[in-house]
Chains A and B, each alone.
With several copies, the nearest count.
Chain A
Amino acid sequence: MATVRVQEAPFALGEEVEAFASGRTDMGAVVTFTGVVRDLAQTDLDVMEIEHYPGMTERAIGSIVDEAVSRWSLGDALVIHRYGRMGPGDRIMMVATAAPHRVDAFAAAEFLMDYLKSRAPFWKKEITEDGAGWVAATEEDEAALTRW
């Protein structure tokens, strides 16, 4: 039922959302989340490089999606996550959920995001004028898992 895509290529956000939301006469609510590479003024980010663990990535995202489907009344879910090099403004990833009611669609999308942040094997490296550095995981992101 759900779709998971891990890819290097960009994805067409508008087309993905349009396709995901189409023909759903039994689902009243569609929620999407899109993650965008930020260019913070103080760092002057040039490139974001995302490394992942081929094989485990698909497996880990699959488990996270299965868990979401078991917890909420969902009609469908979509996860697209890129790896490789990206620039400011590029879309890193997206999540979409369709449910009969908005509460389920929102909760499932937030759950997917919280788990993708800390439990899917991706690592972000920021390359700026001053050099390169791995993005550190935050306590905030780890703490976000405890609410589920």
Chain B
Amino acid sequence: MTLDVLYFAWLRERIGLSQERIETDALTVADLVEELRAREDRYALAFSDLSAVRVAVDQDLTEFDAPLANAREVAFFPPMTGG
């Protein structure tokens, strides 16, 4: 499966990327995070405390146990600070 993975705010800064295309067999968001963590230190660092990270699948806010079946875009970011 091909996924567009997006990073925002300090996750983007820590990983050094705003977007990348990934080939993965991850079944859930949590699986995908494990894959990313295993890649390089900068990913491991960015995802070291998941309580500070939020995730959206295809632009809908969701949880880390959400399935990735049919997903096209996964985004990781800190808690939002709009308004």
A→B interface (CB under 8 Å):
35, 51-53, 55-56, 59-60, 81, 92-93, 102, 113, 116-125, 134-137, 141-142
Contacts and interface: CB of A to CB of B under 8 A. Distances in A.
Given A116-B83, A122-B81, 5 more contacts: A52-B82, A55-B59, A56-B56, A117-B83, A124-B82
Contact of A123 (B6, B8, B59, B60): B8
B77 interface: yes
Given A51-B9, A134-B10, A122 B56 contact: no
Contacts, number: 73
Contacts of A135: 81
A118 B80 CA distance: 5
A120 B81 CA distance: 8
Contacts of B16: none
Contacts of A137: 78-81
| Range for the number of chain B residues in contact with chain A | 10 to 19
Contacts of A118: 79-80, 82
Interface string B69-83: 000000101111111
B75 A53 contact: yes
B80 A136 contact: no
B61 interface: yes
Interface of B: 6, 8-10, 12, 56, 59-61, 75, 77-83
A76 to B, nearest CB: 20
21 contacts: A51-B8, A53-B6, A55-B59, A56-B60, A59-B59, A59-B60, A60-B61, A93-B82, A93-B83, A117-B80, A118-B79, A118-B82, A119-B82, A120-B80, A121-B75, A121-B77, A122-B80, A122-B82, A123-B9, A134-B10, A142-B79
Contact of B9 (A56, A116, A125): A125
Contacts of B79: 118, 136-137, 142
List 10 A-B pairs, minimum CB-CB distance, nearest first: A122-B82, A137-B79, A123-B9, A56-B59, A117-B83, A120-B82, A116-B83, A124-B81, A116-B82, A135-B81
